[in-house]
């Protein structure tokens, strides 16, 4: 297979992981990079040996022949950049959060559909191997039909040192982190009918909410609780582990801190350590997330080769993004929100 020619837009904090992962994928390579900050362009260009460097995205699209673009900028630039890729008929990956509003997210899906180009949201948490392992247990039928889930991310890790912008937005934990955990809930238990939410800000030094609790009714009939906190000090800091409890008609799944998976089901109880691999370029505790970046980028290359729709396509991600919007509006109104009403 001929190697796909990609370009990366946005050479900041997280893009370095994406560049490492592209280097591990032999069917694709990054041939050009773009950042409006010349210093970030220099750092990433030098680290990964990329000589084609642009500070202007329009100039890059005009000058390069590309098979895809990978957008790793922060949220406010996502819509104009995705629409620019669609106008050039270039398949596009866009980091989460997909958009500032659901209306912007819908517009990007329409723009790419009209241009006939694939669009994938870089929603990588469901690609973490422990999350995939939970999904495999559900698919095996071992615990029967799930009727309850708790998907939990509670931490006091200092995310602001690497990503200072997270302290300044009116929206914080649901938009930045809850979006991943809500996506995992959809991935494991299916699409959501209604959501009820409560939020709090415990850290007085930040602008947005740092605690969120969401109760969801899934279309399947299952109920789940998604709870997220960056104000939870524990004896052993679990960042960035997502902990999972699922109860089914024939058993239970528990993914506990330290990547310990306990399954009690039709064939008894098994306990396994399902720690993710430490890739050569990865570092703890981020290795769990870094491994998922490689997995989702591999999936993108497979999808481009086969014509399959990515698991976290733009259209799929609208259903996760609707949960984010519902959580903010439901926390404000203290009323349950119907998800179908948002997706019309």
Given the rule CB under 6 A, which residues bind ligand NAD? 9-15, 34-37, 40, 57, 72-75, 77, 95-97, 122, 124, 163, 176, 289
Whose CB is nearest to ligand 89V? 177
Residue 251 near ligand 89V by CB under 6 A: no
34 binds, options ligand NAD, ligand 89V, none, Cβ within 5 to 8 A by partner type: ligand NAD
Stretch that binds ligand 89V, among 53-61, 176-184, 210-218, 312-320 (CB under 6 A): 176-184
CA 146 – CA 144 distance, rounded (Å):
6
57 binds, options ligand 89V, ligand NAD, none, Cβ within 5 to 8 A by partner type: ligand NAD
CA 190 – CA 219 distance, rounded (Å):
7
> By CB under 6 A, how many residues form the interface with ligand 89V?
7
Least distance CB 129 / ligand NAD (angstroms): 15
Residue 177 near ligand 89V by CB under 6 A: yes
138 binds, options ligand 89V, ligand NAD, none, Cβ within 5 to 8 A by partner type: none
CA 283 – CA 279 distance, rounded (Å):
8
HEC profile of the chain: CCCEEEEEECCCCCHHHHHHHHHHCCCEEEEEEECCCHHHHHHHHHHHCCCCEECCHHHHHHHCCCCEEEECCCHHHHHHHHHHHHHCCCCEEEECCCCCCHHHHHHHHHHHHHHCCCEEEECCHHHCHHHHHHHHHHHHCCCCCEEEEEEEEECCCCCCCCCHHHHCCCCCHHHHHHHHHHHHHHHHHCCEEEEEEEEECCCCCCCCCCEEEEEEEECCCCEEEEEEECCCCCCCCCCCCCEEEEEECCEEEEEECCCEEEEEECCEEEEEECCCCCCCCCCCCCHHHHHHHHHHHHHHHHHHHHCCCCCCEHHHHHHHHHHHHHHHHHHHHCCCEEHHHHHC
Least distance CB 1 / ligand 89V (angstroms): 31
74 binds, options ligand NAD, ligand 89V, none, Cβ within 5 to 8 A by partner type: ligand NAD
Least distance CB 176 / ligand NAD (angstroms): 6
Out of 159, 184, 206, 263, the only residue in the binding site for ligand 89V (CB under 6 A) is 159
Is the CB of 176 or the CB of 325 nearer to ligand 89V?
Answer: 176
Least distance CB 197 / ligand 89V (angstroms): 18
Stretch that binds ligand 89V, among 69-77, 101-109, 172-180, 243-251 (CB under 6 A): 172-180
Nearest to 246, CA basis, from 122, 132, 143, 127? 143
Least distance CB 61 / ligand NAD (angstroms): 11
Least distance CB 3 / ligand 89V (angstroms): 28
Least distance CB 164 / ligand 89V (angstroms): 11
Binding pattern to ligand 89V, positions 8-27, x when CB under 6 A?
--------------------
| 267 CB neighbour count, 10 Å cutoff | 10
Binding pattern to ligand 89V, positions 202-231, x when CB under 6 A?
------------------------------
Binding footprint of ligand 89V on the chain (CB under 6 A)? 159, 163, 176-177, 180, 240, 289
């Amino acid at each position: 297979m001929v190697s796909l020619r990609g370009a990366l837009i946005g050479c900041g904090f997280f893009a370095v992981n994406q560049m490492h992962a592209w280097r591990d994928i032999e069917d694709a390579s990054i041939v050009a990079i773009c950042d409006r900050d010349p210093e970030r362009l220099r750092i990433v260009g030098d680290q990964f040996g990329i000589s084609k460097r642009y500070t202007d995205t329009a100039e890059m699209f005009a000058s390069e022949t590309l098979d895809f673009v990978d957008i790793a900028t922060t949220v406010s630039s996502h819509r104009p950049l995705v629409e620019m890729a669609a106008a050039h008929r270039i398949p596009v990956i866009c980091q989460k959060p997909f958009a500032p509003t659901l209306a912007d997210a819908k517009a990007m899906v329409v723009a790419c559909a009209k241009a006939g180009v694939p669009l994938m949201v870089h929603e990588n948490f469901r690609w973490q191997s422990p999350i995939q392992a939970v999904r495999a247990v559900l698919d095996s039928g071992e615990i029967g039909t799930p009727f309850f889930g708790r998907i939990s991310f509670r931490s006091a890790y200092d995310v602001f040192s690497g990503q200072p912008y997270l302290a300044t937005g009116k929206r914080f934990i649901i938009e930045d982190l809850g979006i991943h955990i809500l996506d995992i809930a959809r991935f494991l238990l299916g699409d959501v009918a209604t959501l009820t939410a409560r939020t709090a800000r415990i850290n007085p030094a930040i602008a947005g909410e740092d605690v969120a609790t969401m109760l969801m009714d899934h279309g399947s009939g299952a109920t789940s609780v998604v709870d997220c906190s960056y104000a939870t000090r524990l004896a052993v800091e679990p960042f960035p582990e997502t902990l999972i409890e699922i109860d089914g008609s024939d058993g239970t799944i528990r993914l506990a801190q330290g990547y310990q998976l306990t399954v009690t089901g039709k064939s008894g109880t098994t306990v396994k350590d399902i720690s993710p691999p430490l890739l050569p370029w990865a570092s703890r505790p981020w290795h769990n997330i870094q491994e998922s970046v490689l997995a989702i980028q591999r999936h993108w290359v497979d999808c481009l080769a086969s014509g399959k729709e990515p698991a976290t396509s733009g259209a799929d991600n609208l259903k996760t993004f609707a949960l984010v919007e519902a959580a903010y509006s439901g926390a404000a109104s203290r009323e349950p929100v119907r998800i179908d009403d948002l997706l019309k």
